[in-house]
Chain A
Amino acid sequence: MKTKKVKRRVSAPARRPAKLWQLRLYVTDSTPKSLTAFANLKKFCESQLKGCYRITVIDLLKQPHLAKGDQILAVPTVVRKLPKPVRTILGNLSDTARALVGLDLRPAD
């Protein structure tokens, strides 16, 4: 699987300061779990952080040394690097409520 860089930089909405969210998604290969996780993450971001987020997908099979830095044990794992504090969510994000709590995003209306 390729390391995808999804970058959206649209004009920031007025209600949210122009803060860039940096998210990392750790996966191993294109397993169904990885794909679901990516789809879910993207969905949350699009609905809540449109234009000010960046998702870095890291395939640990290709870059195993990167696992140490963010203390990755489980895959898929999403790490919110910015804004601080760093938050970690394990799983394919199929449990929306917990995923949003984990990312500290408001649930979609």
Chain B
Amino acid sequence: MKNKGSKTTSSATLLPKCPTGIQGLDEITGGGLPRGRPTLVCGGAGCGKTLLAAEFLVRGATQFGEPGVFMAFEETEAELKANVASLGFDLAALVRRKQIAIDYVHIERSDVQESGEYDLEGLFVRLNHAIDSIGAKRVVLDTLEALFASLPNEAILRAELRRLFRWLKDKGVTAVITAERGREQLTRHGLEEYVSDCVILLDHRVNDQIATRNLRVVKYRGALHGTNEFPFLIGDEGISVLPITSLSLNHKVSRERIVTGIPRLDAMLGGQGFFRGSSILLTGTPGTGKTIISANFAQAAARRGERVLFFSFEESPAQIIRNMHSIGLRLEPLVKRGLLRFHSARPSLYGLEMHLATMFKEIATFQPDVVIIDPITSLMDSGTDSERKGMVTRLIDYLKAGQVTSLFTSLTQGGHVLQQSEAAMSSLMDAWVLLQDFEGNGERNRVLYVLKARGMAHSNQIREFLISDHGIDVVDAYIGPSGVLTGSARVAQTALEKAGMLASHQEAARRKRELEQKRAALERQISGLRSEHEASAEELRQIDEQVGRQTLLLTTERTELGRLRQADVLVAASTRLRSRNGRGNL
């Protein structure tokens, strides 16, 4: 029974601890409250002191097998039962099973007269009786300081309180004593003077109209503890303290890719879309289509049979469904099939922590594969910078631990501050898609580009995307010497280019024709020249022949003459003729 909660007792040097079972508190205190010693829980009105104390008892009884006594000085037994019922604790049943004893201690000062000496032995007797009747290991005194109002003699009371704390220690019970926050000291009546082992301070503060509860371990004698202020929540399952420090970076990662539902966008992301379990940031100025892309993503996932949880902080579910219908996204059937679930809440409804807790709860119950938060910036309006960053960190870590793909949209104002305003958040994101407006030419056009995508090849191109009644079309934006052109300017530019192209085609054709004509002319000239050349060659040949013939004729004539005139030179002449004829034949 004892061993269950006291892992730390194994080492003699360590202070034995008593686990509270309250989510997060045991992490901060390194295992729980000091066992067998009193712990003071102080805070102003409405901080949740009583609930913390009650949860300590209930969890002790139900989870650690340690019965407890609740001594109430402010609320009656019935009131107390009703109050903790809102946390889902059935106090009445625990009382019936003798796991918890409740004693309502009340003195009306006006009904009481004081005469002579007395002590508070009656209180001790009652407490002792209650502890012994159920074998209690835990005791809550809520709020002991009420006695200061009902008992007139403070000197007696103080002396008796000192004795009470001593007595509690001797009794070996782990006690939680609640007290009101004082002005200059921790408690109104200086109870911290008596309880010096562990002091927890609760605080409820309002920033920008939004209330956040904080818990701080002021003092923990003999043990290491987180000294920071930790936000905590009172939800319908009790108190949860949310320490950021307890989260570590060691979640599993998936190699699986999931498509976005917009083929061209997938193509920009290496053709396969985002990694499963990654966190995606979608930033853009108003009206750039963040919700539409988110809805596309949701639809694509739900159609694959995955469960999608859509947190909307701006529009109601019905409105989103109607609006998406206008661009051809049918979300309603997916909602009906239970694959898509909307959760809408106004960001100002409650504080960041409460939103976070609600989201955690929704995620835990719905078990989604994809979570969409539209937009995260609405939530970021509340709280301080560090709170916001802490919240997003916790949310992302929580989602990543469960391999849930998360898509956050983020609204930015104006074009230039766009990237720096998201700097805090972007470092937590694995992929970042930017949506932007291009204004000019009397119109506004949307473009998108992938700013970063960890672990995958991605396009560096700016793409224009068009929203029509059949969804999103991503087209190439015109990028030329005159900058990025979109919309009708892009169309005009394309037309212009087409015309230019046509003109240059025509020009080329004309020049080609010209050249061809020129060539043809040359060709003609060449053939003219060639015929001339041939004609002259013919002429040459004819001349040659003529000359040959004339020579022959001449020779023949001469020979004839010679023969006729001188017969004696006949022999010599015939020899000469023979050799000349031989030459002419060559």
Binding site for B on A (CB under 8 A): 26, 28, 33, 36-37, 40, 60-61, 64-65, 67-68, 71-77, 85-96, 98-99, 101-102
- The residues in B between 90 and 129 inclusive whose CB is less than 8 angstroms from any CB of A are 103, 105-107, 111-123, 125-126, 128-129
Q: Given contact pairs A74-B121, A89-B113, A96-B115, enumerate 15 new A-B contacts (beta carbons under 8 Å).
A: A40-B116, A60-B125, A67-B122, A67-B129, A71-B105, A72-B122, A72-B125, A75-B120, A75-B122, A75-B125, A88-B113, A90-B112, A91-B116, A91-B118, A99-B113
The 4 closest A-B pairs by CB, nearest first: A102-B113, A94-B116, A64-B129, A91-B116
Which residue on B lies nearest to A94, using beta carbons?
B116
Indicate if B87 sits at the interface (CB-CB under 8 A): no
Kindly provide the distance from the CB of B104 to the nearest chain A CB, expressed in whole angstroms.
8
* 17 interchain pairs, CB-CB under 8 A: A26-B122, A71-B106, A73-B123, A85-B111, A87-B113, A89-B112, A90-B112, A90-B114, A90-B118, A91-B118, A93-B116, A95-B114, A98-B113, A98-B115, A99-B116, A101-B113, A102-B113
Per the bound structure, the CA–CA distance linking A101 and B111 in Å amounts to: 11
A65 to B114, CA, bound (A): 24
Could you say which of A40, A72, A92 has the most chain B C-beta atoms within 10 Å of its C-beta? A72
Kindly list chain A residues whose C-beta atoms are within 8 Å of the C-beta of B106.
71
- Tell me which of A26, A68, A74, A95 contacts B120 (CB under 8 A): A74
Interface residues of B in 348-403 (CB under 8 A from A): none
Chain B residues within 8 Å of A92, by CB: 115-118
Q: Which residues of B contact A75 (CB under 8 A)?
A: 118-122, 125
Q: Does B258 contact A (CB under 8 A)?
A: no
A33 and B112 contact, CB distance less than 8 A: no
Distance in Å: Cβ of A93 to nearest Cβ of chain B = 5
0/1 per residue, B484-516, Cβ < 8 Å to A?
A: 000000000000000000000000000000000
User: Which residues on A sit within 8 Å (CB–CB) of B122?
Assistant: 26, 28, 60, 67, 72-75, 77
B73 nearest in chain A by CB position: A73
* CA–CA, A95 and B111, complex, Å: 17
Taking the complex as formed, is B15 at the interface, i.e. its CB lies under 8 A from any CB of chain A?
A: no
B268 at the interface (CB under 8 A from A): no
* B120 / chain A contacts, CB cutoff of 8 Å: 73-75
How distant is the Cα of A90 from the Cα of B160 in the complex, in angstroms?
15
Name the interface size band of chain B. Answer: 20 to 34
**What's the minimum C-beta distance from A36 to chain B, rounded to whole angstroms?**
7
Q: Which residues in chain B, 106-156, are within 8 Å of chain A measured between CB atoms?
A: 106-107, 111-123, 125-126, 128-129, 147, 151
In the assembled complex, the CB of B127 is this many whole angstroms from the nearest CB of chain A, namely 10
Residues of B within 8 A of A65 (CB): 129
Whether B115 contacts A64 by the Cβ 8 Å rule is: no
Q: Are B105 and A73 in contact (CB under 8 A)?
A: yes
> B80 to nearest A CB, angstroms?
15
Query: Closest CB-CB distance, A40 to chain B, in whole Å?
Result: 8
Distance A93 CA – B104 CA, assembled complex (angstroms): 26
A64 near B117: Cβ-Cβ < 8 Å: no
CA A37 to CA B117, docked complex, whole Å: 9
- Given A64-B128, A88-B111, CB of A77 within 8 Å of CB of B118: yes
Smallest CB gap from A74: residue in B: B118
Give complex CA distance A2, B388 in Å.
67
Contact A76/B118 with A89-B112, A102-B113 known, Cβ cut-off 8 Å? yes
**Cα distance A92–B115 when bound, in Å?**
6
Chain B minimum-CB-distance residue to A32: B117
Residues A90 and B128 in contact in the complex (CB < 8 Å), given A28-B121, A73-B107: no
Residues on the B chain within 8 Å of A60, using CB = 121-122, 125
- Least distance between B118 CB and chain A CB atoms (Å): 4
Chain B 271-294 interface 0/1 with A at a Cβ cutoff of 8 Å (1 = within):
000000000000000000000000
* Complex contact B151–A74 (CB within 8 A): yes
Given the interface contacts A26-B122, A60-B125, A67-B125, does A90 sit within 8 Å of B113 by beta carbon?
A: yes
